[in-house]
Structure 1
Amino acid sequence: MASPPPPAAAAAAANPSRNPKRKPKPKPKAAGPSTLNPNWAQLQSKLPATTLGKRKHRPDHPSPVPAPTEPAAEEAAEVEEVKLVPTSDDTSLTKAVAVDCEMVGVGAGGSKSALGRVTLVNSWGNVVYDEYVRPVEWIVDYRTHISGIRPKHMNKAKDFWVVQKDVAELIKGRILVGHALHHDLKVLLLGHPKKDIRDTSEYEVFRREGKRRSLKDLTAQVLGAKIQQKEHCPIEDARAAMFIYNKHKKVWEKNMKEQFRFRNKLKKRGKKKSAEGSGNDPNVPTVKETRKQTSSEMYFTVAVAWVRSP
């Protein structure tokens, strides 16, 4: 008597299309991110490590992402690349001119400042005057580390009185721009109307907590350029002051007009009050009349005094 077939054989006999020796086909694996996007691996290496999963497995205080340092380095590079160059080829005199002076030391120990170089630039930053100056007194200290002036520059320098006359003619009737202009005018032995002075060290908008700021600091903030890294260049300094003024010219000029209008109003009010206090009409000038005594009047006065005396 034949034994019954095994269950697998019976199933195969019942379903002839199924082959028990045939292995099932493996399921295709999902394509990884690198297959879909070749740049994903490079991007993933730059991203900060994060933990994703169930809420209970996430850290309560994730580690802070470090601030990137590359943009800061790029910004520093951009600041270094900014150069103060003229905005036009026009070298003519303009309504506003900027001045900058470099000083040398004279007197005992070189403690007294004297004019060593003076530069004027126009509104576009072009040089209209640049001369080395031979001071009246003997130079004791050239202050080269700041002024950039050396003994060889005195070979082509002009006398102080010649330079002073030239500068006075150039700035007459013009708006004078600069930084700490009282120092420049002092060594030039010149004056200038206050209404025509635009000093970047005195402008309230540029002050920090009421204190004056250096031209180097203002140039870095307003223009994004670096100056005075080593020896000072009067062309660069005058150009920086002019460009700072040009950037704020509209508001600056408006403030100056309002200030002088207010001052003139106060002066007129003060004159009117003083005239009212004296009881005179401010529109009518007062004239003091004096008369000398005649010889007969003087004789009569002396005679009366002699008679009255004991």
Structure 2
Amino acid sequence: MVRFYAIDCEMIENDLGKSMVARVSLVDEALETVLDEYIKPTRNVADYRTSISGIKRGYETEAKPKDGVLRRVINMVNGQFVVGFNVKEDLEALGILHSKIWDMADSKHLDCCQKYALKILAYKELGLSIEDVPHDTVKDAKAVMDIYKKYGE
């Protein structure tokens, strides 16, 4: 049974100037992608942040309603640990309260690494080049899981 999932989300900006989740990805301990979904916006989109997020106008036609994706994420992570980089922000953006987290951005977990961006941390710790522009949530979640395996267990 999987005990840990790594999560990463990509955000776009709504008409109130707030971030909203446009893509969420989960990988398991074996680095298998168990969820990779685009989420329909819940408000009007002011900025797709395409240069960073890779999300483009029109993605909505293939995206799924947030409630359904949210239910799938909750069912998968229920009772499990969730690891991520700024994982608290990703879970908050999804509207999920979850107590079993390991947040890589919290330097107390990574004494060796201080507080780096995930891009720098993955390169320093794994020799991986990630977070190309645009970001890839699956690639980022896999890097997070690899770093977790190195330091978290």
TM-score bracket for this pair, using the shorter chain length: over 0.9
User: Normalising to structure 2: TM-score of the pair?
Assistant: 0.93
User: Normalising to structure 1: TM-score of the pair?
Assistant: 0.47
Higher relative contact order (CA 8 A, sep 6+): 2
Question: 1:202 is matched with which residue?
Answer: 106
Q: Assess if the C-alpha contact under 8 Å between 2:53 and 2:133 holds in 1.
A: no
Q: What is the alpha-carbon distance in structure 1 between the residues aligned to residue 97 and residue 147 of structure 2?
A: 23
> What secondary structure, in the 3-state scheme, does the structure 1 residue paired with 2:12 have?
strand
Question: 1:288 is matched with which residue?
Answer: none
1:153 shift after superposition: 1.9
Is 1:100 paired with 2:8? yes
Q: Assess if the C-alpha contact under 8 Å between 2:110 and 2:151 holds in 1.
A: no
Gaps of 5+ in 2: none
Is 1:160 paired with 2:63? no
One-letter amino acid of the counterpart of residue 125, structure 2: V
1:176 shift after superposition: 0.3
Q: Assess if the C-alpha contact under 8 Å between 2:5 and 2:80 holds in 1.
A: yes
Question: 2:131 is matched with which residue?
Answer: 228
Is 1:241 paired with 2:150? no
Q: What is the alpha-carbon distance in structure 2 between the residues aligned to residue 166 and residue 247 of structure 1?
A: 28
One-letter amino acid of the counterpart of residue 197, structure 1: I
Higher strand share: 2
Q: What is the alpha-carbon distance in structure 2 between the residues aligned to residue 229 and residue 207 of structure 1?
A: 26
Gaps of 5+ in 1: 1-92, 251-310
Q: What is the alpha-carbon distance in structure 2 between the residues aligned to residue 121 and residue 164 of structure 1?
A: 16
Q: What is the alpha-carbon distance in structure 2 between the residues aligned to residue 200 and residue 216 of structure 1?
A: 12
Q: Assess if the C-alpha contact under 8 Å between 1:105 and 1:140 holds in 2.
A: yes
Q: Assess if the C-alpha contact under 8 Å between 1:132 and 1:157 holds in 2.
A: yes
Higher helix share: 1
> What secondary structure, in the 3-state scheme, does the structure 2 residue paired with 1:135 have?
coil
Q: Please list the CA deviations of residues 13-58 of structure 1 after superposition, one character each: whole Å capped at 9, or x if unmatched.
A: xxxxxxxxxxxxxxxxxxxxxxxxxxxxxxxxxxxxxxxxxxxxxx
